[in-house]
Amino acid sequence: MNPNPEDLDVCVEDLRSVCRDAWQEGLLSGCNGNASRRLPAPRDGLLCVTRSGAAKGRLTARDCCLVDARTGEILCGGPASSELGMHLELYRALPHCGAVLHSHPRRLLALSLVVAGQEDFLRLPLFEADVWRARLGFAPALPPGGAELALAVADAARAVGADKPAGAAVWMAGHGLCCWGPSLADALCMSEELEHLAAVQLLALGAR
């Protein structure tokens, strides 16, 4: 199915805008991280995905590629992100997923180095912490870009997010954060909320 050029332009601009915001907020740096979103129906079997090695704060149309969500075939542009497999597994695991943002948030990463395990990760006596932590799953430390990590993230996503059409997230130990939702804006919002909680916990730990 050939994409409508106007739909593709909208998707590319969406990727550019959200990745730029994430980069400005310190959720992405340099070429790390990746993002994708479905094209509008009836072409929602196609994905617009960031290219491998693209600087997320300075994306251009050439930094985005078109991928068949069912087969993983790159239809235009590329090479796709090294984490394409993870994106594909998430869309397969969560049919309601409209977009995925994989980031490397500096405060969440810092917190993961000083908190012993996931039981204490973002565990705070705050109402908002309970709300957002209930939408967070965990995947073990596995080599980036591999099939094992992609499947582990999809399993964790299915467990935490199958009943959450508004989106959820998975923290990948030793790696970063993967958020999804109906739109890239929703995925970015989830990332921001979790990064805010990490900042609060780091401040609290420093005050002890």
| Residues recorded for the chain | 208
**pLDDT over threshold 70, residue 1:** no
Helix (H, G, I), strand (E, B) or coil at 76: strand
* Range list of H helices, 94-146: 106-114, 127-133
| Tens-place pLDDT, residues 19-55 | 999 999 999 999 999 999 999 888 899 999 999 999 9
Helix (H, G, I), strand (E, B) or coil at 56: helix
pTM (2 d.p.): 0.95
| Tens-place pLDDT, residues 183-195 | 999 999 999 999 9
Domain extent listing, the chain: 5-206
| Tens-place pLDDT, residues 88-139 | 999 999 999 999 999 999 999 999 999 988 999 999 999 999 999 999 999 9
**Which numeric CATH code is attached to 5-206?**
3.40.225.10
